[in-house]
């Protein structure tokens, strides 16, 4: 096994692209190191990206925010500007792991792990976030929901962590940052999940909602995303359509819940049945929409 700590993105991309064996990127390491310590994987090459300039920073411009690939979730929680503009994204990131894990884990790692139950991904999808990708062919930007393409192999033994999922990243490509637009006036977002325990568990179902209102409190744009409800995070366009052009009245909320329940493609397992997950998806979407609406200034 080789371990390298490049100082430039170009070097990191070159090392990954030229690696003849299996390669892994180390940012927070909260997924990678657990699998290595358990003996489930042993990469031929580990590329530690924490020393690359800018990847450990949250950038803010007139257009929005850039969250570097090595930014720990704890740092996101400490950013007043990010909390003010995108509270749903931050509250999702703050649900990943324990306090100790928060100091290491990253939303880019959470995205690239490609778990259907990843906490930060539904909130990012609802927010319309994009991934800035660097590779041998240069830079490109894609919607966050286009990165995960399928779940990893699961184990019958609960103590064994699931394998990393599949992504659309080509060999040698690295996500350098997550991009969030400046929040529009009268906008709000929220994220909720259901877990069997009170803390530090994997989402059985989750929902992220992002709303923008007009001056009368009518929803003029919306994005609704569900997690742990299908092989990848679901962007439910019909659920958004149930809200657009209306205030968040009881009829709109009922329609939202029904659409979200119907959009689910979950599995039966010991953590929840298909019927249960569909029911809870509607409940969580309704509650998240209510919170997002209040944050946007709706009454």
Q: What confidence score (pLDDT) does residue 267 get?
A: 85
Looking at residues 231-235, what average pLDDT do you find?
96
Nearest to 135 by CA among 108, 111, 168, 171: 171
Mean of pLDDT values over 29-35: 91
Structure confidence at residue 154 (pLDDT)? 52
Q: How many residues does the chain have?
A: 299
> Can you read off the two tokens belonging to residue 149?
């393409």
For 125, list phi and psi in degrees, rounded to 5: -65, -45
Per-residue pLDDT of 116-133, as tens digits, reads 999 999 999 999 999 999
pLDDT grade for 280, boundaries at 50, 70 and 90:
very high
What pLDDT sits at residue 139?
Answer: 96
pLDDT at 159: 43
* Mean model confidence pLDDT for the chain: 93
Rounded to whole angstroms, the Cα distance separating 75 from 72 reads 6
Checking if the pLDDT of 288 tops 70, the result is: yes
The pLDDT tens digits for 170-181 are 999 999 999 999
Work out the pLDDT band at 199, boundaries 50, 70, 90: low
pLDDT of residue 163: 57
Mean pLDDT of 136-152: 94
What is the model's pTM?
A: 0.93
Q: Is the pLDDT of residue 156 over 90?
A: no
Q: What pLDDT is attached to residue 268? A: 84
Give buried/exposed letters for 75-97 (b at 16+ CB in 10 A, else e).
bbeebeebeebbbbbbbbbbbbb
């Amino acid at each position: 096994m080789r371990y390298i700590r490049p100082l430039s993105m170009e070097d990191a991309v070159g090392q990954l692209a030229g690696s003849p064996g299996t390669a892994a990127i180390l940012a927070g390491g909260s997924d990678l190191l657990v699998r290595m310590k358990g003996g489930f994987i042993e990469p031929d090459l580990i590329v530690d990206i924490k020393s690359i300039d800018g990847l450990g920073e949250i950038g803010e411009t007139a257009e929005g925010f850039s969250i570097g690939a090595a930014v720990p979730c704890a740092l996101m929680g400490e950013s007043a500007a990010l909390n003010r503009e995108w509270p749903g994204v931050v509250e999702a990131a703050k649900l990943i792991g324990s306090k100790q894990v928060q100091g290491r884990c990253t939303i880019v790692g959470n995205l690239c792990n490609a778990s259907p139950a990843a906490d930060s991904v539904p909130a990012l999808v609802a927010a319309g976030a994009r991934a800035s990708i660097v590779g041998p062919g240069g830079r490109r930007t894609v919607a966050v929901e286009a990165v995960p393409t399928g779940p990893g192999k699961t184990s019958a033994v609960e103590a064994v962590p699931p394998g990393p999922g599949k992504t659309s990243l080509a060999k040698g490509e690295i996500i350098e940052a997550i991009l969030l637009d400046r929040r529009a006036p009268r906008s709000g977002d929220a994220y909720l999940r259901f877990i069997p325990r009170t803390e530090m568990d994997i989402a059985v179902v989750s929902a992220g909602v992002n709303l923008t209102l007009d001056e009368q409190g009518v929803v003029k744009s919306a994005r609704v995303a569900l997690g742990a409800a299908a092989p990848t995070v679901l962007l439910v366009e019909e659920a958004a359509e149930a809200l657009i052009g209306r205030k968040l009245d009881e009829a709109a909320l009922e329609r939202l819940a029904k659409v979200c329940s119907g959009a689910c493609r979950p599995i039966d397992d010991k953590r929840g049945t298909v019927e249960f997950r569909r029911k809870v998806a509607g409940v969580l979407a309704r509650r998240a929409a209510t919170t997002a609406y209040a944050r946007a200034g709706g009454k």
